[in-house]
């Protein structure tokens, strides 16, 4: 039954603007959202600059699309990817697209795909221009997908990153989570008792900030992030109807009184 609910996705990778080091994490992440029925990567494969990608194409069944640079200074790869995306769109076989690039040239493509009712997942580096990030339904920063990315385990009590704490040599300093922003969304969708379903909270945050990801702030899941700020939020598990697992609810303490 689960197979019938899986989204069919087309994965299109701009090899010039995506490092090969993300490949494992990339497809693990994509698997959370659906099945990658099409996996294509675009670039000029005659040169040495894409050697890292060449080593992993077969292992991940990614189809390389050759695109020569006809004119110096012009990116023909972008045009080839966009044309293929539109061709795939009109087959009506896909529920969504995964656009892997840090290039803002794909902003209009993302918007056009969404106009057709398809879900667009963007993947790019933190330097990706905001217009492209905002044009996607959800945007995942590829720094989070590298093997050396470290997040707080859901099985470990989460702690708030602090500048006063001396980090271990291999640790990473994470930015402070946008507590006020999360609190505002929580208040907006809260039920009469002040509690909001955590799933709805995550969905609404993503609608307003497609690039939001708990891992950016050092937490594996949104629940870990919320739990790490007990002065601002509290969590509650409520029994689900039937034999399902409990449902997590969150409340902004100031709103709850």
pLDDT at 38: 98
* For residue 80, pLDDT beyond 70: yes
Percent residues over pLDDT 70 in the chain? 83
pLDDT at 153: 43
pLDDT at 47: 81
pLDDT at 78: 87
- Of 241, 225, 243, 242, which Cα lies nearest the Cα of 233? 225
Least confident of 62-66, 72-76, 86-90, 199-203: 72-76
Residue 212, Cβ neighbours under 10 Å: how many?
A: 20
* For residue 156, pLDDT beyond 90: no
Percent residues over pLDDT 90 in the chain? 74
Least confident of 65-79, 88-102, 108-122: 65-79
Q: Read off the pLDDT of residues 209-237 as tens digits, 9 standing for 90 and up.
A: 999 999 999 999 999 999 999 999 999 99
Average pLDDT over the chain reads: 87
Q: What is the DSSP letter of 161?
A: -
Q: Which residues contact 13 (CB under 8 A, 6 or more apart)?
A: 39, 40, 41, 42, 62, 100, 101
- Of 222, 236, 230, 225, which Cα lies nearest the Cα of 253? 230
Interhelix angle 107-115/76-89, rounded to 10 degrees, is: 0
Mean pLDDT of 151-178: 55
pLDDT at 1: 34
**pTM metric for this prediction:** 0.81
d(CA 199, CA 196): 9
- Give the confidence band of 171 by pLDDT, cuts at 50, 70, 90: low
* For residue 76, pLDDT beyond 80: no
* For residue 167, pLDDT beyond 50: no
Comparison of pLDDT for 147 and 29, the residue scoring more:
29
Sign of CA dihedral 39, 40, 46, 50: negative
pLDDT at 254: 75
Domains and CATH numbers, the chain: 2-145 (3.40.50.1010), 179-256 (3.30.420.610)
Q: Read off the pLDDT of residues 22-37 as tens digits, 9 standing for 90 and up.
A: 999 999 999 999 999 9
- Give the confidence band of 246 by pLDDT, cuts at 50, 70, 90: confident
């Amino acid at each position: 039954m689960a197979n019938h609910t899986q989204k069919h996705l087309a994965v299109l990778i701009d090899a010039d603007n995506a490092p090969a080091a993300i490949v494992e994490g990339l497809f693990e992440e994509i698997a959370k959202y659906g099945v990658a029925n099409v996996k294509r990567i675009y670039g000029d494969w005659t040169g040495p600059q894409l050697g890292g990608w060449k080593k992993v194409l077969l292992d991940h069944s990614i189809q390389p699309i050759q695109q020569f640079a006809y004119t110096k200074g012009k990116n023909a790869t972008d045009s080839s990817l966009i044309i293929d995306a539109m061709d795939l769109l009109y087959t009506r076989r896909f529920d969504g697209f995964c656009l892997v690039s840090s290039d803002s040239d794909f902003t209009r493509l993302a918007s056009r795909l969404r106009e057709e009712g398809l879900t667009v997942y963007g993947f790019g580096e933190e330097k990706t221009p905001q217009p492209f990030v905002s044009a996607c339904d959800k945007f995942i920063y590829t720094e989070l997908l590298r093997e050396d990315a470290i997040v707080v385990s859901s099985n470990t009590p989460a702690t708030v990153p602090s500048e006063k704490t001396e980090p271990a040599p291999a640790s990473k300093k994470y930015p402070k989570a946008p507590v006020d922003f999360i609190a505002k969304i929580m208040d907006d969708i809260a039920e009469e008792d002040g509690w909001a379903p955590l799933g709805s909270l995550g969905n609404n945050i993503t609608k307003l900030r497609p690039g939001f990801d708990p891992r950016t702030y050092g937490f594996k899941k949104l629940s870990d992030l919320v739990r790490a700020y007990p002065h601002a939020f509290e969590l509650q598990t409520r029994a689900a109807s039937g034999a399902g697992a409990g449902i997590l609810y969150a409340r902004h303490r100031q709103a709850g009184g």
